[in-house]
Amino acid sequence: MRLLRVATCNLNQWAMDFDTNLRNVKESIARAKTAGAVVRIGPELELTGYGCEDHFLEQDTTAHAWECLKDILSGDYTDNILCSIGMPVIFKSVRYNCQVFCLNRKIIMIRPKMSLANDGNYREFRWFSAWSYKDELVDYQLPIDISEAISQETVPFGYGYIQFLDVALAAETCEELFTANAPRIDLAFSGVEVFMNASGSHHQLRKLNLRIDSIRNATRLCGGVYMYANQQGCDGARLYYDGCCCIAVNGDVVAQGSQFSLKDVEVLDALIDLDAVSSYRACVSSFREQASHVTKVPCVKVQYKLCQTFRNGMIPTDPIEIMYHCPEEEIAFGPSCWLWDYLRRSRASGFLLPLSGGADSSSVAAIVGCMCQLVIKDIEKGDEQVKADAMRIGQYKDGEFPTDSRELAKRLFYTVYMGTENSSEDTKSRAKRLAEEIGSFHFDVPIDSVVSAFLSLFERFTGKRPLYKVDGGSHTENLGLQNIQARVRMVLAFMMASLMPWVHNKSGFYLVLGSSNVDEGLRGYLTKYDCSSADINPIGSVSKQDLRAFLRWAAIHLQYSSLAEVEAAPPTAELEPIRTDYNQLDEVDMGMTYEELSIYGRLRKIFRCGPVSMFQNLCHRWCGRLSPLEVAEKVKHFYKYYAINRHKMTVLTPSYHAESYSPEDNRFDLRQFLYNTAWPFQFRKIDQLVQDIDKDGKWEDSTDVQSREHRAVRSAPGSGMGVVAAGSANPSAGL
């Protein structure tokens, strides 16, 4: 029996903070050695941080990575342990994303990444080139200072594996796990038993199972050991890397790390029986046949043993049940950890949130409350780093530290209800009760006087005073009056964030939190530079439907009971006067429901539909519910307002990335922001398709009864379909 103890890790790295990154790498190696591991894998680009982006184009970044590696190799960190360390390497004036394998203060091999991630949030081709040579390993001349420090001039560079006396190991890097023709296939046929994947994979709702399934299938089909390491935390941008390092053997997961954590370093180890890998492969005849005539893969031979032989008490690690969080837990824990990293690394003193008592701002408040709960739990578990950060941010005196989440929230979280004459007592009451449950320092600040001052000033130099639509005003007047309220709140929020610490004799500043959701961003149902404009937004790519489910979950599991009432209330902006015969509602204003918006968003982004293909798709999806003409009206209504409001995405507050149909303009959803809002060619094509369907008659024959029934249902109160007359007011359509 060949027994091999291996270790993988989650590391909370920070792009361009080489001190922090090096410290975490060293700590992870030390913990792996303490556990008895002889193989250690770290995350992708762990020395620089994955999110350096255009900093990778700077020679300094690569040079600093080599300096950090030199520091590691100069000590005893790699003594008797094979370490894979992620960093950029320049070879013949070409920059590669590499894993550098080190053992006993020497570099054994450098493996460049062969399949680069270049979609969604990833732009690796902007900074790196993919290694495409598979037939040989070439000599890489080490930098002079590294060469002198470790007495080594060259190292094998390229695609291949490392053959020890008792085990063969090889690398895959992040994206290579998901490619159709993955490197591990030929490597497995060449006898490689251990695969080491250094990854920089971000969190997205409902995504983890795809990653875990890929890891399990990688070893189920070819046999072997798969070691997966990942970054974890906010490394300086919109993404949260969700860790979940793991070790799989022959299709079973034997070790799994946390997906959401405040820890900077987490190390997992497992004892693996390599003979079980040989046995697994040998019993599959198709594997034997394919492996018997596979193309030879180059290798580096190392005269060194890594395995142990069996002795009493040494038991290979058993498979475990995989842990998955439900979407509500993902919304709670992912943004909470992201906010904590952002808070402690920005050196801010806390957060300020305009809390309206509605679903969105209440969700953000609950996430901050969850963050405080996580901090207290980690302090109770003895995490000294979390404790030190909490003491600094909360400005505790010597010897004091937080022991209660509500008391911690009081120190670092301000909530402000900025009501007007259009605000209801219900939202005011809900905001106050939620603030009390969380423990935030809560303010009730009426802003009517400020709004009135703007209107008086406007009237003084124009001679006109606008009226709300319900009072006889035009759509233009109605929109302008709503936007004044919204923008005043943004200015007040930033003023309070900068000055309230001074008022309370505290140092520093507070970060303003935004609370617009992904559906509002997609539709443009927000005022440019209102409370959607903030420093950061933890729910900016979470759908309204997911947020409502989160509120129901948080009311119970976070023990913020007032959230149940928040979730039950109909969404409203409360920017127009309340009348007995009129109450402003989001879905009426938008001309579509949040459920429909989620469908439009997924079709537009995930399934890459333009107006015509979206119409065709929805004709099939809503067959029997809506007629083709009604589907056409809905699609055109959506695309009209999408085009009108797309410019708002250019200034949207940086948001936690959680959803694959996010309309975020800066990194993820790259589209123009000046459109012909009439979409003449596309809408004409849709009209023609509707006419063709009507001429054919088949649609009406099969759906006319159901469609009439559906029209009756969706026009009823509470139906959730939100039929709205054309030309309905849109309080946020303007600039």
Q: Where does residue 293 rank: exposed (0-12), middle (13-18), buried (19+ CB within 10 A)?
A: exposed
Tokens 């999408």, located at residue: 642
Q: What gap in Å lies between CA 254 and CA 318, rounded to an integer?
A: 6
The one catalytic residue in 9, 33, 44, 405 is 44
Cα angle 445-450-453, degrees, rounded to a multiple of 5:
160
Which of 523, 592, 560, 74 is closest to 357 using CA atoms? 560
Angle between helices 680-696 and 628-645 (to 10 degrees): 170
Residue 194 near residue 204 (C-beta atoms within 8 A):
no
349 is catalytic: no
Q: Record the tokens describing residue 368, joined without a space.
A: 């901050």
700 is catalytic: no
> SS3 string of 115-126?
CCCCCCCCCHHH
The one catalytic residue in 33, 113, 263, 469 is 113
The alpha carbon torsion through 659, 664, 668, 673 (nearest 10 deg) reads: 140
The neighbour count for residue 88, using CB atoms within 10 Å, is 22
The one catalytic residue in 84, 115, 356, 405 is 356
Q: What gap in Å lies between CA 261 and CA 206, rounded to an integer?
A: 18
The neighbour count for residue 299, using CB atoms within 10 Å, is 19
Alpha helices in 381-513 (DSSP H): 384-394, 405-412, 425-438, 448-462, 475-503
440 is catalytic: no
The one catalytic residue in 98, 174, 234, 244 is 174
44 is catalytic: yes
Q: What gap in Å lies between CA 130 and CA 116, rounded to an integer?
A: 6
Which of 493, 489, 485 is closest to 451 using CA atoms? 485
Q: What gap in Å lies between CA 247 and CA 268, rounded to an integer?
A: 8
Catalytic positions, written as ranges: 44, 113, 174, 356
